[in-house]
Amino acid sequence: MNTAVLQLNDQSLLMLGQDAVLHEQPGFARVDGEGIITGEAARATAWLQPQHSYNQFWVHLNQAPLASGEKWARHHADIAFAQLKALWQTAGEPQQLVLLVPASFDDSQLSLLLGLANALPAEVTAMLDSALAAAGGQEGDFLHLDMQLHQTVGTWCRGRSGIVRIKEQEVFPNLGLLQLYNTVARYISNLLIDSARFDPLHSSDTEQFIFDQMPDWLTRLRWDGEFSASLDTAKGQLPFILRNDRIRELLGERLTSVSAFVDRHKGMPLVLSHETSVLAPYADIFSQARIAARTEALNFVLSNLQGISEQVDELYRVRSLVLDQATALQPVVNGRQATHLLHGDRAIPLHRPVSIRLTETGLVVSTAIERDASLTVVARDGTLEEVARDSAVDSELPPHCAPGASIRVGGHALRLIEVRDG
């Protein structure tokens, strides 16, 4: 039977099938006269049309009646089902699903989720804690942080002799990506009120623009101490300057509880889910964290489907696994690391972000962070990190940032090389 793995993080719901094609949608929805629109199309109008926009239907997955009385949705479960079905259909309607579910889902939500999957219809063959799948076959103790739109989950994982289990978990409510974005948006608003007597959060157009640009702005601040940006308003172009140190101070204050969780387990390696990578530059405690690849947990589960299914005899959230050491993910030790990307006769350094854009004539590679890039990558602590990705373009990163490996974008390959001084 055709099997796909679904990872439930409403920053970006991911579904990966055995055909290795990734399907994704952010956890946004818009209900209009025609029905329920989900994913990026809904996010792109979320601040333009807030009265019919939803982004809390996963964190508050339930069947409580909606206050707005929408024609096509009685409750959050209806909206969640619409998104689940859209992902499932674009993935080719797989007959079986393995669900990766964060600890923030309670038992009633898990039961409701299973009912939604059954209504697709698809058979749920296993339900794993997201952090357990992220642990892979890693040996020893380590921490995993997974930020959603409205909350964050911290997990202490332990791998010993082929057995990986969850030792401790903590959920941080009201501390998700949107809360961090709101903090930065209010800061930008205050800058423009002071300089131009204009509040961009009181205009739906400029508010939408700010939240559209936020991922790029925060990403750029990881490498630039400051930069200038501007808003196109009824008063003309209004410039402002974003500074890393000020954003770091603001977000650091919001991340105090998460930092305390990490500090309580001082000495343990820290892994940030790809969705949590926004944290990396904004608190000292996260600076040495490894950022997981976007599909790392999904690929691990697909590679171990048989072994996982043999250990699951009923549907509950699995919190420990016995792994086949031959297939478990293991870190590369003392391996050579690629330092550059080879494009034609150019060797492009990877210590800063590299944007790759697919065009009709081939690939265009730039050392700037480009919003319309098909893929943006950077080498960090010996690994190749995906900074941004266009889900409409097929792309694939190698499992390790090693010389001779290749990045694939839209059927084209770019080779990784090592350049040594002297």
Give 65-109 pLDDT, tens digit per residue: 998 888 999 999 999 999 999 999 999 999 999 999 999 999 999
Question: Is the backbone peptide bond immediately before 121 cis, with ω within 30 degrees of 0?
Answer: yes
Looking at the predicted structure, is the pLDDT value of residue 332 above 80? no
Give me the mean pLDDT over the 24-37 stretch.
96
Average pLDDT for the chain:
91
Distance CA 116, CA 62 (A): 11
Whether the Cβ atoms of residue 289 and residue 271 lie closer than 8 Å to each other: yes
Q: How far apart are CA 171 and CA 232, in angstroms?
A: 39
pLDDT for res 90: 96
pLDDT of residue 422 exceeding 70, the answer is: no
pLDDT at 331: 45
Residues 240-265 have a mean pLDDT of: 95
pLDDT digits (tens, 9 = 90+) for 119-148: 999 999 999 999 999 998 788 999 999 999
What proportion of the chain, given as a percentage, has pLDDT over 70? 96
CA 226 to chain centre: 25
Lowest mean pLDDT across 49-53, 110-114, 256-260, 322-326: 322-326
Q: Do residues 177 and 153 touch, judged by C-beta distance below 8 A?
A: no
What is d(CA 170, CA 104) in angstroms, rounded to the nearest whole number?
Answer: 9
Whether 330 has a pLDDT exceeding 60, the answer reads no
Q: pLDDT (tens digit, 9 = 90+) per residue, 2-22?
A: 999 999 999 999 999 988 889
The CATH T-level fold of domain 177-251 is: Actin; Chain A, domain 4 (3.90.640)
Measured CA to CA, the distance from residue 83 to residue 113 in angstroms comes to 12
Instruction: Please list the residues that pair with 358 across neighbouring strands.
Output: 363
Ranking 27-36, 49-58, 398-407 by mean pLDDT, the lowest is 398-407
Alpha carbons 69 and 55: distance in angstroms, whole number: 16
Strand partners, 412: 409
SS3 183: helix
Annotated domain spans of the chain:
177-251, 340-417
pLDDT of 372 over the 90 cut: no
**Hey, what long-range contacts does 63-72 have (CB within 8 A, 24 or more apart)?**
63/112, 70/31, 71/31, 71/33, 72/31, 72/35, 72/36
Instruction: Read off the tokens for 300.
Output: 């691990």
Lowest mean pLDDT: which of 60-64, 120-124, 155-159, 161-165? 161-165
Q: Following CA atoms 105, 109, 110, 113 in sequence, which dihedral angle do they give, to the nearest 10 degrees?
A: -120
96-101 and 3-7 beta bridge pairing: parallel
Cα-Cα-Cα-Cα dihedral of 60, 173, 388, 61, to 10°? -10
Q: For strand 13-17 and strand 22-25, is the pairing parallel, antiparallel, or unpaired?
A: antiparallel
Using 50, 70 and 90 to split pLDDT, how confident is the model at 327?
very low
**CA–CA separation, 328 vs 160, rounded Å?**
12
pTM above 0.85, yes or no: yes
Tokens, residue 291: 């950022």
Q: Give me 307's structure tokens.
A: 């072994």
| HSE-up of residue 233 (Cα within 13 Å, Cβ side) | 22
Cross-strand pairs, 185: none
Q: How confident is the model at residue 161 (pLDDT cuts 50, 70, 90)?
A: confident
CA dihedral sign, ordered 49, 104, 131, 114: negative
> Can you give the C-alpha Rg of the chain in angstroms?
22
Taking alpha carbons only, the member of 274, 275, 319 closest to residue 129 is: 319
Q: How long, in residues, is the chain?
A: 422
What average pLDDT score do residues 115-119 get? 97
- Compute the distance between CA of residue 57 and CA of residue 60 in angstroms, rounded to an integer: 5
* Tens-digit pLDDT profile for residues 381-414: 677 888 888 878 888 888 778 888 899 998 899 9
Q: What is the pLDDT of residue 328?
A: 47
Positive or negative, the Cα torsion across 345, 351, 352, 353? Answer: positive
Query: What would the two tokens of residue 156 be?
Result: 């202490």
Nearest to 131 by CA among 113, 150, 144, 149: 144
Residues 6+ apart with CB under 8 A from 314: none
